[in-house]
Amino acid sequence: MRIQNPLFRADMPDPDVIRVGSDFYMVSTTMFYMPAAPILKSKDLQHWEIVSYICTEIEDNAIYRLEDGRHAYGKGQWATSLLHYKGRFYACFVCHDMGKTYLFSTDDIEKSDWERTEWETVYHDMSFLCWEDKVYLVYGNGEIRIVELKEDLSGALEETDRLLIHTPSEGIRLRCEGCRAYAKDGWIYLLFIDWPADTEEEQGKRREVCYRSGNLMGPYERKTILYDDMWLPGRGIAQGPIFDDAYGNWYAMMFQDSGAIGRVPFLMPVEWKEEWPIPGKDGKVPECVEVPFDERPAEAIIQSDSFAHEEDVLKNVWQWNHAADDTAWSFRERPGYLRLQNKNFASDLMRARNTLTQRTKAPGCAFTVNLECGGMADGDFAGLCVFLEKYGQIGIRQRNGKKSVVMRRRAGETAPYELQRKGDLAALEEWYTIKETEAPFDGESVWLRIVFRFDSWGSQEETAEFFYSLDGERFSPLGEKLDLLYSLSIFVGARIGIFSYNEGQGGAGFSDFRDFVADESCEL
C-alpha cells in the first residue's frame, strides 16, 4: 500500500508512536483542549482513529476552568512519551502552567482516564528509555539530563538526576529538545529537534539530530539525520519517533510547521546505515511511502455529528476549550440536540467555557450547524467560531429582547512575538480591535457555516469565510474574510468551534444545536 505525505493534513504535533503486535498507537499534543492527550490507533499506518484519552482533565482549578483571568493557552499537555513495559502502558507529560510532570498508566490503552501520578518536578520534553532492565527519563532543552525511575515507575530515584549531554549553543536558534530515546542492538539512540540560526549562505531550518552511545553515560556521538523542508522553504520537518513494524521495517513520523492548519506529521522510511537511523530517502522526506499492509479504514479524526445521542458522551473527535462545566451541557435535555446552557459569563470567546471544538483540515474544509435559539436570553451569544488568537465568530446574539445575526472578528495587525509568548489575555484584547457585521433576525432557527481555505499551507493567504441561512439551503455571506494565522499564544492549529455564552447582561439562557456537518472536500 502507498501512503501519501503529509500523513495528516491536520494539526497533530509532537507525536510518539509505539507498536504492540500488529497495532500502532500514537499520542499527540492538544495542550489546553480537554479531554487531554488523545490516543490514536492504526493497523496500516495510513488510517488513524482516536480511541481514547489519557485523562478527562488535567486539574480542577481556576486555570482549567478559565476563572479569575487564568488560562492554559499555549501550555497544558505537551509532548507526551508513550511506553509499553511489562504488559502495561505508560504515558508521561509536563504541564508548565502547573510546574508538574504527570505519569499515567493503564492495562488497556484504548480505555480513557488512566491511573495517575504527579511529580513536583518539570522533566521538559522527556522520553522514556529502557536500558539494562531499568527505566529512565531523558529530558531537557540544550542541557540534556537523565533520571532513573523507581522499579514500579512511581517516581524518580533520589540522587540519580545527572547531566547527560551539553548540546551546541553557538549558532543555534533552538537547542536540542523533544527527545525520543531508544535502545537497539547494544546502542542508545537519543533523537532531538534543533534549529540552526540563519547564515549568509543559508536560512536555518529545524532539523533532526541523533546522539548515540554504547554506554548510558556516554560519551555520545552526534549526527544530523534529517535536514529537509520539502515544500515549505525554511520549515524543516523534525521531532518525532522512530518505530518498527512486525516485518522488521522501520519508520519515522515527524512534523512540519504548516501555517494556520498547525503542525502536520509526515511518515517516512528509516534505513539503518552504519548503525545510525536515517529517515527519508536520500536525505529527503518522500512524497509517498510504501508499507506492507492491506488498507484498514478507520474512523476519521474529523467527523459530522447529528448530536442525537442517548447519553451525555461526546464522540472522541470532540474536545472542549479547557475543562467543561458538565452541568451546562447535555444531549439528553432535548433529545437530538446538543444543549449549551449559558451559566458562565464571559467578556469574549477566549474567556468562555464550554466551547466545543474539532480540528480543521487542509487544503480546505467547511462546517455547518443548525442553531435553534428560542431559549436564548439577553446577553447570550451562540454559534460557530474559528478558534485562534485572531478568532472569528458567526451566530445569534440577543440584546434587549431582540436577536440579530452577528459576524465578529479580531482585526488589526497580528500581535508581536513577545506578546504572543506572554499569553496575557487582557493585553491581547487591548492589542486587537473587534469588528462586527450585523444582520436582522426574528426567527428561532438558523443555519451557520464557516469555510476554511488552507490552499497555500501557510506560504501565502489562508482565510475563513462566514455564512448564514434561514432555510438550510440558501446561504448568505456575512462580514469580511478572516485571515488565519498561527500564533504562539494558542500554539495549536485553527479549529472549528461551537460556542454559547452570556456576555454579562443578565440572561443565562440556552442554545440548542443539531446536525453538525463536516465537509472535507476541496471543492468549496
- The pLDDT tens digits for 126-137 are 999 999 999 999
State the average pLDDT for the chain.
96
Per-residue pLDDT tens digits for 299-358: 999 999 999 999 999 999 999 999 999 999 999 999 999 999 999 899 999 999 999 999
CA distance 3 to 17: 17
- Reduced to 3 states, what is the DSSP secondary structure of residue 428? helix
Structural domains present in the chain: 2-290 (2.115.10.20), 319-519 (2.60.120.200)
Q: Name beta bridge partners: 511.
A: 340
CA distance 131 to 217: 12
CA distance 80 to 36: 10
Q: Measuring CA to CA, which residue among 451, 35, 18 is closest to residue 243?
A: 18
Q: Measuring CA to CA, which residue among 158, 153, 91, 150 is closest to residue 126?
A: 91
Q: Measuring CA to CA, which residue among 24, 18, 20 is closest to residue 3?
A: 24
DSSP one-letter code for 322: B
Reading the block at residue 56, the C-alpha cell is 478527562
Per-residue pLDDT tens digits for 9-26: 999 999 999 999 999 999
Is the predicted pLDDT of residue 504 greater than 90, yes or no? Answer: no
pLDDT band at 260 (very low <50, low <70, confident <90, very high): very high
Per-residue pLDDT tens digits for 209-258: 999 999 999 999 999 999 999 989 899 999 999 999 999 999 999 999 99
Are the CB atoms for 329 and 354 separated by under 8 Å?
yes
Find the mean pLDDT for residues 439-464.
91
**pTM of this prediction?**
0.96
Q: Measuring CA to CA, which residue among 133, 40, 132, 21 is closest to residue 80?
A: 40
Q: Which residue has the cell 482585526?
A: 411
Find the mean pLDDT for residues 154-176.
96
Are the CB atoms for 178 and 125 separated by under 8 Å?
yes
Phi-psi region of 27 (alpha: psi -120 to 50; beta: other; left: phi over 0): beta
CA distance 176 to 503: 44
Are the CB atoms for 349 and 71 separated by under 8 Å?
no
Reading the block at residue 346, the C-alpha cell is 464571559
- Reduced to 3 states, what is the DSSP secondary structure of residue 380? strand
Return the exposure string of 204-227: e unless at least 16 CB atoms fall within 10 Å of the residue's CB, then b: bbbbbbbbbbeebeeebeeeebbb
pLDDT band at 522 (very low <50, low <70, confident <90, very high): low
Q: Which residues contact 136 (CB under 8 A, 6 or more apart)?
A: 128, 129, 130, 146, 147, 148, 149, 181, 216
pLDDT band at 388 (very low <50, low <70, confident <90, very high): very high
Is the predicted pLDDT of residue 195 greater than 60, yes or no? Answer: yes
Phi, psi of 425 (to 5 degrees): -60, -45
pLDDT band at 508 (very low <50, low <70, confident <90, very high): confident
Sign of CA dihedral 60, 66, 71, 74: positive
Please state which of the ranges 72-76, 100-104, 482-486, 520-524 shows the lowest mean pLDDT. Answer: 520-524
CA distance 180 to 189: 8
Is the predicted pLDDT of residue 507 greater than 90, yes or no? Answer: no
Q: In this prediction, what percent of the chain has a pLDDT beyond 70?
A: 99
CA distances from 328 to 100, 324, 507, 523 (A): 29, 8, 14, 37
Q: Which residue has the cell 523542508?
A: 229
Per-residue pLDDT tens digits for 391-447: 999 999 999 999 999 999 999 999 998 999 888 999 999 999 999 999 999 999 999
CA distance 198 to 368: 44
Per-residue pLDDT tens digits for 54-82: 999 999 999 999 999 999 999 999 999 99
Residue type at 505? Q
- Reduced to 3 states, what is the DSSP secondary structure of residue 327? helix
Q: Measuring CA to CA, which residue among 348, 322, 247, 231 is closest to residue 290?
A: 247
CA dihedral 415, 417, 419, 420 (to 10 degrees): 80
How high is the pLDDT of residue 455? 83
How high is the pLDDT of residue 344? 86
How high is the pLDDT of residue 290? 97
